[in-house]
Structure 1
Amino acid sequence: MTAEEFAPAPPPAPAAGAATVDEPELAVGVGPWPGAWPTDPHYDPELLSGGDRRNVVDRYRYWRREAIVADLDRRRHGFHVAIENWQHDLNIGTVVRNANAFLAAEVHIVGLRRWNRRGAMVTDRYQHVRHHPTIEEFTAWAAAAALPVIGIDNLPGSRPMESERLPRECVLLFGQEGPGLSAAARAACAALFSIAQYGSTRSINAGVASGIAMHSWIREHAGPPPG
């Protein structure tokens, strides 16, 4: 049989004169505030006037960025997130976005200062991010803050995270995409946890791993999210 015979048949053409229905485009965010404006100072007059198309939950619609950050700061959780950045890891944006979603106290970039913010989807504006040029400076900060460093990597000797409890106050440390945690980072960890995998791939990327680890902390220590 020819390739054409194997090819699926094209969908039937609409009948002559038949109306075509376009899929409606979903509006992102909300338009201008309807009616009289609220007077609470956390509202932004520019957003009230022009609408709010930002990537924020509904309870923060029309709020000033500073007001959102202040409200988040009142509720931040006790865990921090750190990731090594020696080769401009493209996963860091996802890690920052996850940290915002699960309300981490802070994100720590260890190594190069610059990172690709595209994956963060602007959530870095609402998330505290700190830079440490070296592992030694990062571990000195963690020691001064009395925070144990918990490495997340599928390494020999790592304990299954599914059967362990994460400390209420800690730093979850992730390695560079590819090589994983560096030797210096592994040496700095109070414990090493692995994430169970069941397929053929050797590892999952740091962005995915960070979301799993953070949600594990949430399940152990956090209550329901605000309504």
Structure 2
Amino acid sequence: MTTPEPSPTPELTTHGVGPWVGDWPTGAEYDAELLRSGDTRNVIDRYRYWTMEAIVADLDAHRHPFHVAIENWQHDLNIGSIVRSANAFLADTVHIVGRRRWNKRGAMVTDRYQHVLHHDTIEDLVAWASDRSLPIIAIDNVPGSVLIETFTLPRECVLLFGQEGPGLTDAAIAAADAVVEIAQFGSTRSINASAAAAIAMHAWVVQHSELPTR
């Protein structure tokens, strides 16, 4: 039996840490209150005791060049989970298209570390992407879509997702440079929207990102 390779980024704790023991570190990235009281935030060990601003600045220096866009016509509860996945896969920016307000519960506070922009309409998103020469890749299982497993995702792009249930609007499909779907093998017509988004982002990572090392 083959022994699996260990994770390249093992986390020493998942429940936070208490007050700093010993002499305090002197780097500008550290937060005095967190050093004094402990850090129970949902962050990796590397960022323990760092200020939020320092974490965002460090993430900004390494962000991947793909964006995530989500249509928000029905206050979809999946949007928060998609933002959390975008943070995990280090997306450049999340774009909320439609209603400005969205349910942040599923984001688990990761929206504080993830850039989020709002666009009133699909046309506004298309104009924004066009100005930056970013192709829009829609993810939906509609006629004419191709399997994401066989599709080469552009390194710089916008991954566009729709609402749970109705999926992307006709306007969004028409605006996309390509439409891809995730291969399925069971009886259900579709998978959860936030799960689909995570799969698509991971597909981008597999194609374009260097894996983390110890």
Please state which band the TM-score falls in when normalised by the shorter chain: over 0.9
The alpha carbon displacement at 1:27 in A equals: 7.5
* TM-score, scaled to structure 1: 0.87
1:90 aligns with 2:84: no
Query: What is the CA-CA distance between 1:109 and the residue it aligns to?
Result: 0.2
Further displaced range: 102-111 or 199-208: 199-208
Letter in 2 for 1:138: L
Going from structure 1 to structure 2, the CA distance change for 1:158 and 1:104 (only over 3 Å counts) comes to same
Q: How do 1:45-124 residues align onto structure 2 when only pairs under 5 Å count? A: 45-124=32-111
User: Which of 21, 25, 29 does residue 34 from structure 1 map onto?
Assistant: 21
SS of aligned partner of 1:216: helix
From 199, 203, 210, the counterpart of 1:216: 203
TM-score, normalisation: structure 2: 0.93
Deviations 1:184-217 (A, max 9, x none): 0001100000100111111012100010000000
Question: 2:34, 2:211 → 1: CA distance?
Answer: 29
1:157 aligns to what SS in structure 2?
Answer: coil
Percent identical among aligned pairs is 68
Q: Among residues 127, 138, 146, which one is paired with 2:114 in the alignment?
A: 127
Partners of 1:113 and 1:100 in 2: CA distance: 19
CA RMSD between the two structures: 1.1
2:191 aligned residue (204, 214, 217): 204
Tell me the CA shift for residue 225 of structure 1. Answer: 2.3
Shift of 1:105: 0.3
Give the 3-state SS of the residue equivalent to 2:137 in structure 1.
strand
Structure 1 gaps of 5+ residues are 1-25
2:157 counterpart of 1:170: yes
Bigger Cα Rg = 1
- Could you tell me how far 1:226 is from its partner in structure 2? 5.5
Q: For residues 142-172 of structure 1, what are the alpha-carbon distances to aligned partners after superposition, in whole Å with 9 as ceiling and x for unaligned? A: 1001100000001111000101110000000
User: Tell me, what secondary structure is at the counterpart of 1:130?
Assistant: strand
- Partners of 2:132 and 2:106 lie apart in 1 by 29
Measured in 1, the distance between the counterparts of 2:21 and 2:68 equals: 40
| Count of residues in correspondence between the two structures | 202
Give 1:186's match in structure 2, choosing from 168, 173, 197.
173
